[in-house]
Amino acid sequence: MTRCGQPAPFPPSALDPGRRSFIKTGLAAAGLAGLGAGLGAGAAIAAPRIEITPGAFKPIPIAITDLLGEPEIGRNISGVITADLRRSGLFAPIDPKAFVEQITNPDTPRFQDWRVINAQALLTGRVTRQADGRFQVVFRLWDVFAGQQLAAQQFVAQPDNWRRIAHIIADAIYEKMTGEKGYFDTRIVFVDESGQKERRIKRLAIMDQDGANVSYLSRGDGLVLTPRFSPTSQEITYMSYGQGDPKVFLLNIETGQREIVGNFPGMSFSPRFAPDGQRVIMSLQQGGNSNIFVMDLRSRATTRLTDTAAIDTAPCYSPDGRQICFESDRGGTSQIYVMNADGSGARRISFGNARYSTPVWSPKGDWIAFTRQGDGRFAIGVMRTDGSGERVLTEGYHNEGPTFAPNGRVLMFFRDPGGASGPSLYSVDVTGYNEQRVPTPSYASDPAWSPLRS
């Protein structure tokens, strides 16, 4: 046990399996001695919640100090936390040059010094190197005006996992201040595009949600399209056009193991996992029309869900797996429909004077995002699951392919301005607020957001 209210280091834990490289434990729940006066009371204080309404929102000022102990890694962690929260649009990190107090003890900040600069929340912490080479990271989140602790956690991690720890801390702050789960400890799989436009090389790539840690999952010797994450595991499904018929693949991004779901005659489109991770739904072309099929990944049995003379494609399950939204031209133009999971009860939900495509259901179940094309413009928007409340979030020359963050608050999509350039990734809040470009090494399209990492 240490002095000054410092939490005692965690003992070695059997909960640190080889695949995971760190442990996360809430200090208030750990029941450790020596946490310092006020932790229990502070943990019970309700955080000042952020209320988000379109056109009437002001980001909350927060002071994020460099974590003490190990200067370089502490500074790096604080920098990533700052970038995550600023990019969300909900927080306004205060310039460190304005800080009155230079923190020397992360457990006893002088709240009056932080009130002077109008900080509503304050982050302090410490990084300690352990005998086995791992780092212990402790952070505390404070309500400055109440003078109380809002949250505290500590982690044990290998040094090269500092960036992921930063994302998890940012998620904890986001959840405490908004009441919603964060989305920073996630990854994006996308199609990396490089080379001249007429001979573009397309590779499957993956990165952290902020654009860091890019790695490539395919070599670029075949066309890849529509990668999608499993909601229950570290697998993705995608389409590949090489020699012969298009194939739908499963790829385990932890082991690199790849297997073919099926080799389908004609064309296949938009494979996507069911919520249980045990099925893949897709569209298969037969003659001049296409219909929606679902395949059980254990038995490889395929069930046909639609049987029309139209083009039915881009299916996506609701989070509870009971309904499916999809795109169809059965009414004469491309529109969004919703049907039951067995294919019955199809009903149109989009009625605007435009073509609607690429529907995707929010993880919260409240919205369906879409691409809308009309009057030479492409828009990304959302509507309620019955078609009401349609709202355009962003417009441009060629916007397409929305994908939701796991908390349903943010969308990512790609925009291609045309000409000699190529597509780039963007994110936008579901209120239409805070559109931002997402950094990638090259041109990028077809993003898909992962669930929160375990």
Least confident of 9-18, 67-76, 372-381, 442-451: 9-18
- Top pLDDT among 9 and 449 is at 449
Q: Can you tell me the distance from the alpha carbon of 353 to that of 372, in angstroms, rounded to the nearest whole number?
A: 9
Element (H, E) at 396: strand 391-396
pLDDT at 169: 98
233 residue type, one letter: S
Res 30 pLDDT > 80: no
CB 446 within 8 A of CB 223: no
- Top pLDDT among 181 and 45 is at 181
Question: How many residues are given for the chain?
Answer: 454
Q: What is the per-residue pLDDT across 211-245, written as a single tens digit (0 to 9) for each?
A: 999 999 998 888 888 999 999 878 999 988 876 66
Res 254 pLDDT > 90: no
Res 13 pLDDT > 60: no
Token pair belonging to 174: 């986001």
Give SS3 for 164. helix
Averaged pLDDT, 408-424: 92
pLDDT at 15: 24
Nearest partner of 342 among 324, 369, 356, judged by Cα: 324
**b/e 157-191 (16+ beta carbons within 10 angstroms → b):** beeebbbbbbbbbbbbbbebbbebbbbbbbbbbbb
pLDDT at 1: 24
217: which residues sit within 8 A by CB, 6+ positions away? 189, 203, 204, 205, 206, 236, 251, 253, 256
pLDDT at 56: 59
pLDDT at 286: 78
Task: Tell me the pTM.
Answer: 0.87
Confidence grade of residue 51 (pLDDT, cut at 50, 70, 90): low
What percent of the chain is predicted at pLDDT more than 70?
86
303: which residues sit within 8 A by CB, 6+ positions away? 293, 294, 295, 296
Averaged pLDDT, 129-149: 96
Please say whether the dihedral angle defined by the alpha carbons of residues 251, 294, 193 and 289, taken in this order, is positive or negative. positive
Q: Can you tell me the distance from the alpha carbon of 338 to that of 31, in angstroms, rounded to the nearest whole number?
A: 49
Angle at 282 between CA 427 and CA 424, to 5 degrees: 25
The strand pair at 121-129 and 91-93 is best described as unpaired
- Top pLDDT among 243 and 247 is at 247
419, burial (CB in 10 Å: exposed 0-12, middle 13-18, buried 19+):
exposed
Q: Can you tell me the distance from the alpha carbon of 357 to that of 372, in angstroms, rounded to the nearest whole number?
A: 6
Helix/strand/coil percentages in the chain, nearest 5:
15, 40, 45
Confidence grade of residue 199 (pLDDT, cut at 50, 70, 90): confident
Averaged pLDDT, 180-194: 96
Which residues share a beta bridge with 351?
none
pLDDT at 12: 27
